[in-house]
A and B are shown apart, each in its own frame.
Chain A
Amino acid sequence: MIVLDGVGMTYRADSGTVEALRDIAFTVDRGELVTLVGPSGCGKSTLLRIIAGLRPASAGRTVVDGRPVTRPIAAVGMVFQAPVLLKWRRIVDNVLLPAELAGLNPDDYRARAGELLRLVGLGDFGDKLPRELSGGMQQRAALCRALLLDPPLLLMDEPFGALDAMTRDELNLELLRVWGEGSQRRKTVLFVTHSIAEAVFLADRVVVMTPRPGRVASVVPVRLPRPRTTATRASADFGALTLQIHDVLSRPA
């Protein structure tokens, strides 16, 4: 579970300061899937890094699973906005990296790595080097890497941003399955996206942010029935929610 309370972030550089986030406050409950939408540059990636403990916030309180975040948190699956693959490792060895870094025997995870790669349509690409894959394929490999150790918390920064609409819709359904839709043991997920439709389709709640400095403009509960299916997108409620979020985003700050 994630609690953000008055979180602010100001980047300082020789060229001046940039206020990226101001007074962010919302929570993500255990087992909840929250999506985050907002215009480019409003601080979404920054916020994920703060929650992961990769950057200290300049203000406010960040608490994950009851502990204030002061250093990189454990047991998190992180998908960065860029794929960030190690270019000297084959795809499957990239996927196995978290096991190696955690001091586990990667051989114990080979089967799972192969299964995850098949799940995202990369079954035949495990032996390739990253540069032999397209941007969208690399992103999918990065997703497999984040899922390898089956972490209870997922922080995902536009993981499907570089994919075509069809593949994206498929992987949205896969993500819901991985998350544990309909089961008791669900992961906690914070998912950043530029796509309002994707945000609504996946979420229990959508956090909508303002342009820089990013603030929370609105938190929209999504009470569409689960499990979500392709038919969900065609429902009137889905359309209404999409419009509502669109309005919040285009409202002058």
Chain B
Amino acid sequence: MKVRALQRHAPSLLLFAALLAIWQLVPPLLNVREYLVPGPTAVVRAALSSSIPWHTHLWVTTIEILGGFALAGAAGVALGVAIAWSPTIARALVPFLVFVNTLPKVAVAPLFLLWLGYGIVPNVLIAALIGFFPVVINTAVGLTQVDDELLDLGRAFGAPAWKVFAKIRLPNALPYVLSALKITATAAVVGAIVGEFVASQAGLGTVIVNAQTNLNTPVAFAALLWISIIGLALYGAVGLAARWWAPWADTT
């Protein structure tokens, strides 16, 4: 089991190690300055340095990402259920949602800040806005793409519509929703950072903007490292949840 896992991951681990080695060794050979491309050791040193209040920034960005993710998930599922429940609601909502989704959300970010001021809230909203659409679509699809035979089964056993919904449609939709949430997890990270880029007093995105002004590239890279750790953790958690809640579906 352990050996197999090692074998499976060996190619990607080797590639990762090779890239790290190249990153560490090649820039000095070519005389590239550290403020342009800092090596991995410099980045790790910056990521652990106490000259930056990392825990505050980590905290703010994590809250924004999780908040945006949760909001996108809740709103997405609610809208998806509404769309699947009533064709009239679907006809009213879908064109509007498609329109909202085609807006470049990055461009909306300054408006959110204008309306809501600095702070965590606008960034949560931007994160949610970027990530909610796949959840809506997958929820609606999962609730409606049910085998006719399964629905016949419900009717043959005399089940009322709400029970068919609870016992057949909802579980059928679960893997769809969980796979959309994986996309939302990645999107929420982008949203939170974009919000921080536009204007913020704290958060890893702010750290990057400040580091750029001060040409403190190792810190910018360190912030990137922290962001990717949060992103990977959230993505992994959703993946685990999918395997736990929907073991019958082979989503990967």
Interface residues of A (CB under 8 A from B): 49, 52, 54, 72, 74, 76, 78, 80, 82, 84, 86-89, 97-98, 100-103, 129-131
Do B152 and A88 have beta carbons less than 8 Å apart?
A: no
Inter-chain contact B248/A131, CB cutoff 8 Å: yes
CB-defined contacts of B155 to chain A, threshold 8 Å: 54, 72
Could you list 24 examples of A-B contacts with CB < 8 Å?
A49-B152, A54-B152, A72-B155, A72-B156, A78-B153, A78-B157, A80-B152, A80-B153, A84-B152, A88-B171, A88-B172, A88-B174, A88-B246, A89-B171, A97-B153, A97-B157, A97-B167, A101-B154, A101-B159, A101-B164, A102-B158, A103-B163, A129-B247, A130-B248
The contact of A72 among B147, B158, B167, B172, by CB within 8 Å, is B158
Instruction: Count how many pairs of residues, one from A and one from B, have CB atoms less than 8 Å apart in the complex.
Output: 54
A45, B6: Cα distance in complex, Å? 51
Instruction: State whether A84 and B150 are in contact (beta carbons under 8 Å apart), knowing that A72-B158, A101-B158 are contacts in the complex.
Output: yes
Q: CB-CB < 8 A to B167: which residues of A?
A: 86, 97, 100-101
Q: How far is the CA of A84 from the CA of B168 in the complex (A)?
A: 12
B residues near A (Cβ < 8 Å) are 147, 149-150, 152-159, 163-164, 167-168, 171-172, 174, 246-248
* B156 (CB) vs chain A CBs: closest residue: A78
Q: How far is the CA of A189 from the CA of B126 in the complex (A)?
A: 61
The 3 closest A-B pairs by CB, nearest first: A101-B159, A78-B156, A101-B157
> Smallest Cβ distance from B249 to chain A, in angstroms?
8
Residues of the B chain whose Cβ atoms lie less than 8 Å from the Cβ of A88: 171-172, 174, 246, 248
Instruction: Chain A residues near B153: list those with CB within 8 A.
Output: 78, 80, 84, 97
**Interface secondary structure of B, over-half rule:** helix
Q: Which residue of A lies closest to B172 (CB)?
A: A88
Residue among B156, B163, B171, B248 making CB contact with A129, cutoff 8 Å: B248
Whole-angstrom distance between the alpha carbons of A126 and B42 in the complex?
57
Q: Are B248 and A54 in contact (CB under 8 A)?
A: no
Q: Report the bound CA distance from A82 to B147 in whole Å.
A: 12
A52 to B153 alpha-carbon distance, docked (Å): 11
Question: In the complex, A72 Cα to B157 Cα: how many Å?
Answer: 8
> How far is A103 from B157 in the complex, measured between Cα atoms in Å?
11
Contact residues in B for A52 (Cβ distance below 8 Å): 156
